[in-house]
């Protein structure tokens, strides 16, 4: 039997003696599920793959079905067709819509149109005790499912539940929450559930879902994405959104709205690239799209990482915690390994990379995994304002007890890049935005702090050169 429509209840109902938080709903969904063993990066990849599987393989093949969906802390559905025919409720940070309305340039790239958040749902306020782990419940006449992320750091898990009893309990909790905080929304949800008529659980849905999810994960090549620097327990208390936490809420929305569909597109592109019957032109264009998706996924992950570090300034110092994460790194080998990738990325914008590395350089102390992403972000930051046809020079040589990594360009030195007088606007402590080019990038302060976290020291001479010094081992 499928989950029934929620019955009216409220804070005085003996079944719900305590205020219903979203954290309590996630706990109800996770009851009986084995403990997780994932870090944040791994479980987020599972979440994105689960969203793609649910929408592309489960919901879109049922085009004639209406339904309801509830999500937090951001919209989880992104397929336009689903947003058009399913009725939704989203618990989101109170100032999120205000931030999005007040800063439309953040959603605009050079020559691109603004990319607003989907609007086919009702927004509800997220309370301080709700937590920030994602939650999604979808109910249609033949498909009912709930997804959430749960668990402490290093023991994270993706929870997916199809059982009618579990879903009925979750819907009852949600209705109690709405009855106490938004009676009108509770009535609308109850009416929408009644309009769905009799519900039927698909007994084979779970059997199909997990293999499809595994296929998507297998098709996703590893990519350096979001890896929070602080444990959830170390987060600052959320007694109202200050400037930094407000920006974090905005950046979380941006990374979700940009990276989730891009991850789905990249998965589909890579499945097509495995075919042997593609023409050379088609294969070249698919590889171009794949590269653009990967570049933007990592770029937004880097922006969020910088915002996390800005929220916890002590994490950027060279203290014991930071030093324990650094290791001997062959920077020369890393640059040579990444050179072909950077050549392709710059070539898409009509730029050329020249790499010069001195012989017999010693290893440095850094974090090679995050350093790879940071160096790519540095090249993107420096080259984004250069005109087509420019040469980007990357040189690595010894400088006393350090290695000196220098990035420059004759075009930037001649004033064709982004000199000090360019109309760059600060967007909080993490981002800067050039309204002339539409370029959104990490601020100088945020970039310096990230390199400091990786054992390096960044200096910048106007817009003509960037230099990073790394201590040798």
Question: Which pLDDT belongs to residue 29?
Answer: 96
Q: What is the pLDDT of residues 315-347, one digit of tens each?
A: 444 333 344 468 889 999 999 999 998 998 899
Are 338 and 375 in contact by the 8 Å Cβ rule? The answer is: yes
Average pLDDT on 73-86 reads 83
Query: Token pair for residue 375?
Result: 């160096």
Average pLDDT on 375-400 reads 89
Report phi then psi at 340, rounded to 5: -60, -40
Average pLDDT on 25-31 reads 96
d(CA 349, CA 351): 6
d(CA 353, CA 270): 26
Taking residue 129's Cβ as centre, other Cβ atoms within 10 Å add up to 11
Average pLDDT on 357-375 reads 88
Q: How confident is the model at residue 96 (pLDDT cuts 50, 70, 90)?
A: low
User: Could you give the maximum distance between any two Cα atoms of the chain, in Å?
Assistant: 76
Question: Which pLDDT belongs to residue 206?
Answer: 85
Question: Which pLDDT belongs to residue 257?
Answer: 61
Are 470 and 455 in contact by the 8 Å Cβ rule? The answer is: yes
Question: Which pLDDT belongs to residue 229?
Answer: 34
Average pLDDT on 185-193 reads 92
Average pLDDT on 192-201 reads 86
d(CA 422, CA 318): 33
**Residue tagged 């070249």 (tokens):** 284
Average pLDDT on 32-44 reads 86
Question: Which pLDDT belongs to residue 101?
Answer: 42
Are 77 and 68 in contact by the 8 Å Cβ rule? The answer is: no
Rg, Å, the chain Cα set: 24
Are 252 and 226 in contact by the 8 Å Cβ rule? The answer is: no
Average pLDDT on 366-384 reads 84
Q: Which H helix or E strand runs over 28?
A: helix 22-30
Q: Which one of 267-271, 324-328, 359-363, 428-432 scores highest in mean pLDDT?
A: 359-363
Sheet holding 391-399, edge to edge: 352-357, 391-399, 402-408, 465-471, 457-461
**Residue tagged 């930094």 (tokens):** 244
Taking residue 76's Cβ as centre, other Cβ atoms within 10 Å add up to 26
Indicate the pTM of the whole model.
Answer: 0.54
Is the per-residue pLDDT at 14 higher than 60?
no
Query: Token pair for residue 12?
Result: 């005085």
* Lowest-confidence region among 148-152, 332-336, 433-437, 456-460: 433-437
As a whole-number percent, the residues of the chain with pLDDT over 90 amount to 33
Q: How confident is the model at residue 114 (pLDDT cuts 50, 70, 90)?
A: very low
Q: Which one of 57-61, 100-104, 354-358 scores highest in mean pLDDT?
A: 354-358
Question: Which pLDDT belongs to residue 350?
Answer: 92
> Domains of the chain: which residue ranges?
22-107+117-213, 242-316, 320-471
Q: What is the pLDDT of residues 228-260, one digit of tens each?
A: 333 333 344 444 434 555 555 556 556 656 766
* Lowest-confidence region among 40-44, 115-119, 334-338, 390-394: 115-119
Give the mean pLDDT of the chain.
77
d(CA 148, CA 166): 13
Kindly provide the b/e burial profile for residues 303-337, where b requires at least 16 CB atoms within 10 angstroms of the residue's own CB.
bbbbbbbbbbeebbeeeeebeeebeebebbebbee
Sequence length of the chain is: 473
As a whole-number percent, the residues of the chain with pLDDT over 70 amount to 73
**Pairwise pLDDT comparison (144 vs 105), residue with the higher score:** 144
* Lowest-confidence region among 115-124, 261-270, 442-451, 455-464: 115-124
How many degrees, rounded to 5, is the angle at CA 136 between CA 131 and CA 139? 145
Query: Token pair for residue 83?
Result: 């947003």
- Give me the CATH code for the 320-471 domain, please: 3.30.565.10
Q: What is the pLDDT of residues 117-169, one digit of tens each?
A: 334 688 898 888 998 899 999 999 989 999 999 999 889 999 999 999 999 99
Query: Token pair for residue 453?
Result: 């976290």
Is the per-residue pLDDT at 267 higher than 80?
no
Which among 367, 385, 380, 339 is positioned nearest to 450, based on CA atoms?
367
Average pLDDT on 202-216 reads 88
**Pairwise pLDDT comparison (15 vs 225), residue with the higher score:** 15
- Taken in order 209, 189, 183, 70, is the CA torsion positive or negative? positive
């Amino acid at each position: 039997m499928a989950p029934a429509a929620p019955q009216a209840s409220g804070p005085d109902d003996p079944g719900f003696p305590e205020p219903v938080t979203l954290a309590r709903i996630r706990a109800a969904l996770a009851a009986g599920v084995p403990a997780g063993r994932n870090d944040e990066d791994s479980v987020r990849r599972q979440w994105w793959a689960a969203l793609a599987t649910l929408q592309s393989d489960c919901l879109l093949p049922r085009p004639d079905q209406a339904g309801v969906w509830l999500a937090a802390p951001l919209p989880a559905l992104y397929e336009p067709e689903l947003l058009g025919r399913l009725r939704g409720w989203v618990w989101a940070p109170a100032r999120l819509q205000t931030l999005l309305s007040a800063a439309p340039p953040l959603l605009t790239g050079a020559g691109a149109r603004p990319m607003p958040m989907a609007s086919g749902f009702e927004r509800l306020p997220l309370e301080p005790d709700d937590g920030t782990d994602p939650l999604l419940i979808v109910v249609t006449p033949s498909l009912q499912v709930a997804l959430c992320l749960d668990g402490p750091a290093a023991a994270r898990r993706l929870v997916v539940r199809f059982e009618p009893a579990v879903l009925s309990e979750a819907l009852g909790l949600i209705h109690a929450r709405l009855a106490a905080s938004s009676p009108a929304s509770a009535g609308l949800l109850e009416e929408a559930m009644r309009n769905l008529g009799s519900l039927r659980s698909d007994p084979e849905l779970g059997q199909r879902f997990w293999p499809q999810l595994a296929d998507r994960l297998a098709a996703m090549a590893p990519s350096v994405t979001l890896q929070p620097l602080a444990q959830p327990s170390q987060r600052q208390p959320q007694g109202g959104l200050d400037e930094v936490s407000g920006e974090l809420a905005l950046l979380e929305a941006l990374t979700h709205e940009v990276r989730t569909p891009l991850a789905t597109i990249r998965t589909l592109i890579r499945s097509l690239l495995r075919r042997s019957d593609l023409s050379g032109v088609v294969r070249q264009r698919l590889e171009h799209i794949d590269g653009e998706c990967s570049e933007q996924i990592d770029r937004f992950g880097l922006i969020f990482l910088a915002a996390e570090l800005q929220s916890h300034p002590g994490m950027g110092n060279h203290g014991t915690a930071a030093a324990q994460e650094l290791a001997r790194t062959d920077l020369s080998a890393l640059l040579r390994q990444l050179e072909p990738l950077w050549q392709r990325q710059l070539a898409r914008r009509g730029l050329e990379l020249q790499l010069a590395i001195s012989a017999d350089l010693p290893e440095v102390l850094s974090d090679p995994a995050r350093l790879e992403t940071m160096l790519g972000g540095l090249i993107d930051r420096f080259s984004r304002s250069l005109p087509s046809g420019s040469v980007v020079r990357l040189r690595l040589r010894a400088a006393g007890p350090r290695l000196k990594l220098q990035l420059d360009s004759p075009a930037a030195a001649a004033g064709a890049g982004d000199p000090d007088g360019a109309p760059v606007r600060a967007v909080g402590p993490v981002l800067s935005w050039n309204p002339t080019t539409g370029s959104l990038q990490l601020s100088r302060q945020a970039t310096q702090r990230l390199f400091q976290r990786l054992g390096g020291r960044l200096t910048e001479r106007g817009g003509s050169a960037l230099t990073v010094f790394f201590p040798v081992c």
